[in-house]
Amino acid sequence: MRVKFYQIYQDLELEEKIVSARAIVNRYQGKDETFKTLYNVFKEYNDNLETRMKQIPNIQLKLTPDLFFLKYKKNIT
């Protein structure tokens, strides 16, 4: 176990990250902090959305705006 902690310590130094007891324990437990930029968050969301949209049949995509319009129209009158 001591060897594992030392290896984690060396890895953190090589990655030029701040080395602390908390950082070593988190790495050991697999809880490394990973940060994403806002761009990466949106890109990941859009990629997932594109994949999900391909799974929806085209007929359903064409009908959705019509159904929304009818529902909206009913609420007005």
Domain that residue 62 falls in: 38-76
CB neighbour class for 26 (10 Å; exposed up to 12, middle 13-18, buried from 19): middle
pLDDT number for residue 11: 92
Residues 27 and 48 placed together within one structural domain of the fold: no
- Please determine, for residue 17, whether its predicted confidence score (pLDDT) is greater than 60: yes
Residues 71 and 42 placed together within one structural domain of the fold: yes
pLDDT number for residue 76: 54
Per the model's pLDDT, the better-predicted residue between 67 and 12 turns out to be 12
Counted domains in the chain = 2
Residues 16 and 46 placed together within one structural domain of the fold: no
Residues 30 and 49 placed together within one structural domain of the fold: no
Residues 19-58: tens digit of each pLDDT? 999 999 999 998 877 777 888 888 888 888 878 877 766 6
pLDDT number for residue 65: 61
